[in-house]
Amino acid sequence: MLEKIIKTGETSEKELTFEIGSNSDLILENTITNNLVWTIENFKDTKKGFLTFPTKFDMVDDLLPLNHNGKVTVRMSVNPEEIINRVEFGTSRLQGRIEAINKLKEAGYKVGILIAPVIMVENWKELYPDLIKTLYEKLSTKVKKDAFFEIIFMTYSYVHTKINEEAFPNAINLYNKDIMTGRGKGKYMYKNELRKDGEIFLREEMKKYFPNNKIEYIV
């Protein structure tokens, strides 16, 4: 697969960025397989193209000494600690994720921050401003200088949630018929008017602390 990515990148007329973390969390997987280290080491000398992947884990130390040639962007997914505790079972704590981003930036990686998934629990308009403020206070100056953001509202999947309920019986119920609408194939999303209000709210909160950082999208 890597050979195909390299060939596609080098024969393209424009620079391409390849998303390599769609099917699993590569930081977690790397603790078992070392595949991510291998991938970065074998991609660094390519003539064209970049790699990117998201993660919810802080075990990044194996990546820090690698010569990545600036070709890798790591996008750390963050959420309020309360959401991590109640929804994102088994993932790294918020503090660990922030420290990992600081380490990666210091090691020369390009970094992005995903505020995702944004979950409209009852007190979400208190939790997410606190999260944004925490990021501002704890991210390094280097990160805050040019990190970009992606903000993604939760899409609820009935099938995945039933599986998670069996695995994590203490998980909170994320489905709320009063604020969600069908998206097809057992999936639900927040109603358009609520999502639009949420986007305006989060953009205003971001302006308070990260006025010069690019928000790639809010979806």
Using a pLDDT cut of 90, give the percent of the chain over it: 85
Instruction: Work out the mean pLDDT of the chain and round it to a whole number.
Output: 95
pLDDT, tens digit, for every residue of 130-142? 999 999 999 999 9
List Cα–Cα distances, 139 to 32, 74, 150, 195, 199, in angstroms: 28, 15, 16, 27, 23
Q: Has residue 217 got a pLDDT over 80?
A: yes
Catalogue all structural domains in the chain, each as residue range(s) with its CATH number: 2-218 (3.80.30.30)
Separation of alpha carbons 149 and 139, rounded Å: 13
Ranges 130-139, 141-150, 177-186: which has the least confidence: 177-186
Average pLDDT over residues 108-114: 98
pLDDT score recorded for residue 183: 87
pLDDT score recorded for residue 43: 96
pLDDT score recorded for residue 166: 76
Beta-bridge partners for 78: 115
Q: Has residue 23 got a pLDDT over 80?
A: yes
Q: Has residue 29 got a pLDDT over 90?
A: yes
pLDDT score recorded for residue 55: 98
- Between 50 and 170, the more confident residue is 50
Residue 173 confidence class, pLDDT cut points 50, 70, 90: confident
pTM over the 0.85 mark: yes
Q: Has residue 164 got a pLDDT over 90?
A: no
Residue 1 confidence class, pLDDT cut points 50, 70, 90: confident
Per the CB < 8 A criterion, the answer to whether 48 and 10 are in contact is yes
Neighbouring C-beta atoms of residue 155, cutoff 10 Å: 14
pLDDT score recorded for residue 206: 98
pLDDT, tens digit, for every residue of 41-98? 999 999 999 999 999 999 999 999 999 999 999 999 999 999 999 999 999 999 999 9
Separation of alpha carbons 88 and 164, rounded Å: 10
Q: Has residue 161 got a pLDDT over 80?
A: no
Q: Has residue 162 got a pLDDT over 80?
A: no
Separation of alpha carbons 17 and 15, rounded Å: 7
- The top-scoring range by mean pLDDT among 110-124, 153-167, 174-188 is 110-124
Nearest to 208, CA basis, from 152, 153, 131, 124:
131
Burial class of residue 138 (count of CB atoms within 10 Å of its CB; 0-12, 13-18, 19+): middle
